[in-house]
Every structure is written in C-alpha cells, then in structure tokens.
Amino acid sequence: MQILMGAPVLIKTESIDPLEIALEEMRCGFVPITVKRDHRTSR
C-alpha cells in the first residue's frame, strides 16, 4: 500500500506491481519501517 501511495522503493527491480515489489523487498530482508521519535518526550 505504501509503495502504491508513493513511498520510495528500497531495492532495484524491474517490476512495476507494488505487491510484487513489496514481496521482493521482504525476500531481500528489507523492512520498510521508519521509526521517528519525538525527542521532547523520550527519556
């Protein structure tokens, strides 16, 4: 869903299908998660 909505692709691929790209990213060990922390509230 994120790729379909414009998220960056994390691998080089010839596929244009967002689902196939996401599956290929998972197979390659890429987890498309970004953790953003609010430094004002962190310990």
3-state SS assignment for residue 19: helix
Which residues, 6+ apart, have CB-to-CB distance to 24 below 8 Å?
A: 11, 13, 15
Radius of gyration of the chain (CA): 14
Asked whether the beta carbons of 34 and 10 are under 8 A apart, the reply is no
Would you write out the chain's pLDDT as a tens digit for each of its 43 residues?
688 888 888 899 999 998 898 899 889 988 766 777 787 765 5
Per-residue confidence (pLDDT) for residue 14, from 0 to 100: 93
Q: What is the structure's pLDDT at 12?
A: 93
Position 26 scores a pLDDT of 87
The pLDDT, as a whole number, for residue 1 is 65
